[in-house]
A and B are shown apart, each in its own frame.
Chain A
Amino acid sequence: MKEEYIFLSGNEACAEAAIKANLGFFAGYPITPSTEIAEILAERLPSQNKIFIQMEDEIASLAAVIGASIGGLKAMTATSGPGFSLMQEHIGFAVMAEISCVIVNVQRLGPSTGQPTSPSQGDVMQARWGTHGDHPIIALSPSSVKEVFDLTIQAFNLSEKYRIPVILLMDEVVAHMREKLKISTHDIRIYERKKVKLTQNEEYYPYKNEVSKVPALALFGEGYRFHITGLIHDQAGFPTLRIDEINDWQDRIFGKIENNLDEIIQYEEEDLEDAETVIISYGISVRSAQAAKNIARENGKKVGLIKLLTIWPFAEELIKKVSKKVKKIIMPELNRGQLVLEVERNACFGGAQVIRINRLDGKLISPKAILDKI
């Protein structure tokens, strides 16, 4: 087993992890505070016979990423708020055509140009609903450099496995802070894309309604000569107006996520056994939440913590369960209250009181601000 210790920023860890996950193609457009990811990959990918391309904008970047993924390469892009807004149409295309790809959004204060060098958690709802139409999505949110590394790999694995775009929602502080990272190659599991296996004379259906709900996608150039479209399509990939086929399509693209929530939704619990108050957090706000919880425990208060690593799909069952156990839920986030809406919606089953802590002036929520609410 090989172990290495390195000292990295979040953006560096993201690029390193992508390389470890066998990234074959990166397309992007410079934008603060995500640019280092592109810079590192521009330096590292070519010597490994992999592709780095700087596109003319973020729209083209995600389009090229999807094209490369159709050609069989693991592909990603990295951006921040304004670029993420431009990518929304193609996120929808990747959902519709079921093309694996990873989109990193290093969140900064918005809307508009906002404050490019300040952290924010303002794109939580955009990650969920930014593209038009009802659709499933997966979004992960790391709170440390180690988690950036792990969740970047996880993003590729989930995307390849479920044929869905996966969004890695970082923020400016997670991207730029430096922490010690232990990488053990033993722990790294890389999921490689399922290959098409057909019996003799069997026709290929890129969108077959099979039990797993995730049929293997053939690559362009392999002789399958199939069709991919952003239109609602039948199992062969051709546009359809038939209601039965539209319903089958819908059941499958939602079902492939809804039937696998146990694998997709990741979270960590700390000191929950006897907790009367629980802080629920994600991303950079976890660090203040952890500090507040530890100080509270030292002072004899029964406080626990839930760290959400997967924010979409949302951990509904977990919150329902917890809200029956605890009296109070505290939710700090760097926005005016986004993911807390999901917490409130589910906490009403148990009746726990939900307290919001919000900040969007470019500064982090302090442990004291959380302690004051405990």
Chain B
Amino acid sequence: MSINLTIIEKYLRENKILPTVWCPGCGIGLVLKAVLGAIDELNLNKNDIAMVSGIGCAGRMPVYVDFDTLHTTHGRALSFATGIKLAKPKMNVIVIMGDGDAVAIGGNHFIHTSRRNIELTAIVINNFIYGLTGGQFSPATPLDSLATTSPYGNIDQPFDICRLGEMAGASFVARSTVYHLKELQKFIKLALQKEGFSIVEALSNCHINYGKRNNLSKPIDMFNWFKNNTTLKDEEGKIKRGIFADKNIPGYYKQYQELIKRAKLCQR
């Protein structure tokens, strides 16, 4: 895929020296490309975008982009973003999280932000592992996978992040992979346009800390794995891509405006 220079010039911070902190071949850069591509397609004003992240490899994304950016604590990015959105309702608030960040330490905030259906867009970059700390299993690591803290194979049942968000009440939930980059960008674009809380799970390759222990040690191995093991249809034994939820329900901020009206009537 060719590198779109205009997107780099338009949306990356000039003073941030590349390369990024990510390992060569890391999928997070591709997710960044899809996010910026979607923003560009929608022609959003840079001054109206806040990018908020937690801790981990994915959490380093905001430093590179030319928006208002907030790098928070591990697992709590959605809660910080909730405060920003309520204070600055006109901003598009995009929250970048990894799998451990979003559904392990941040699992409570993930389900409650979904339940509240507040107008944020969460991008969960699921690379099945804690990458920055060197390859420990996460709540998204497949059963039997090897990791530094599951040297005999993982016995913890993984979460289905999309189903979790869907059941908890998010208005839009979708999943794609870094191999299916155009599809991923399309879902992110839909998510950014959706009222309420939208979640896009991007399956991504950590060939360094996940792949090498699980016979997928090159980026291409993991891309092929995404190609062969995910599907837009319902196929037994494969991971489903596509849109899991697309509901027209009011977001929290909109509901709060109704609450304000009610409160004013009561206090009159």
Interface residues, chain A, CB within 8 Å of chain B? Answer: 24-25, 27, 43, 46-47, 49, 51, 53, 55-57, 59-61, 63-73, 75, 89-90, 93, 219-231, 236, 238-239
Contact = CB atoms under 8 A, between A and B. Distances in A.
B47 A67 contact: no
- Name the 9 nearest CB pairs between A and B, nearest first: A67-B83, A71-B87, A63-B79, A46-B263, A68-B83, A64-B83, A60-B79, A229-B71, A56-B112
A75 B87 CA distance: 10
B66 A71 contact: no
A236 B62 CA distance: 14
Contact of A51 (B47, B63, B70, B87): B87
Contacts of B109: 56, 60
From B69, B79, B263, residue with most partner A Cβ within 10 Å? B79
Interface of B: 15-16, 46-48, 50, 52, 62-63, 66-73, 76, 79-88, 90-91, 108-109, 112, 256, 259-260, 262-264, 266-267
B88 A238 contact: no
Given A66-B80, A71-B88, A73-B87, A225 B259 contact: no
Contact of B84 (A53, A220, A230): A220
From A65, A75, A229, residue with most partner B Cβ within 10 Å? A229
A227 B61 CA distance: 11
Nearest to B46: A225
Nearest to B81: A67
A88 to B, nearest CB: 11
A94 B262 CA distance: 34
22 contacts: A24-B87, A46-B256, A46-B260, A47-B260, A55-B82, A55-B112, A59-B76, A63-B79, A63-B80, A64-B83, A67-B80, A70-B83, A71-B86, A89-B73, A90-B73, A219-B88, A221-B68, A223-B47, A225-B67, A227-B71, A228-B70, A229-B70
Contacts of A230: 71-73
Contacts of A59: 76, 79
A220 B88 contact: yes
Contacts of B85: 67
Nearest to B60: A239
Nearest to A62: B79
Contacts of B90: 221
Contact of B87 (A56, A68, A238): A68
Contacts of A228: 69-71
Nearest to A75: B83
Contacts of B79: 55, 59-61, 63-64, 67
A47 B83 contact: no
Contacts of B52: 67
B86 A68 contact: yes
A71 B84 contact: yes
B35 to A, nearest CB: 16
Given A47-B266, A221-B50, A225-B66, A93 B83 contact: no
A227 B83 contact: no
From B72, B112, B267, residue with most partner A Cβ within 10 Å? B72
Given A70-B83, A225-B68, 4 more contacts: A56-B108, A59-B76, A67-B87, A239-B63
Contacts of A61: 79
Nearest to B118: A53
Nearest to B253: A51
Contacts of A220: 50, 68, 70, 84, 87-88, 91
Given A47-B266, A56-B112, A93 B72 contact: yes
A63 B76 contact: yes
Nearest to B82: A64
B260 A49 contact: yes
Contacts of B62: 227
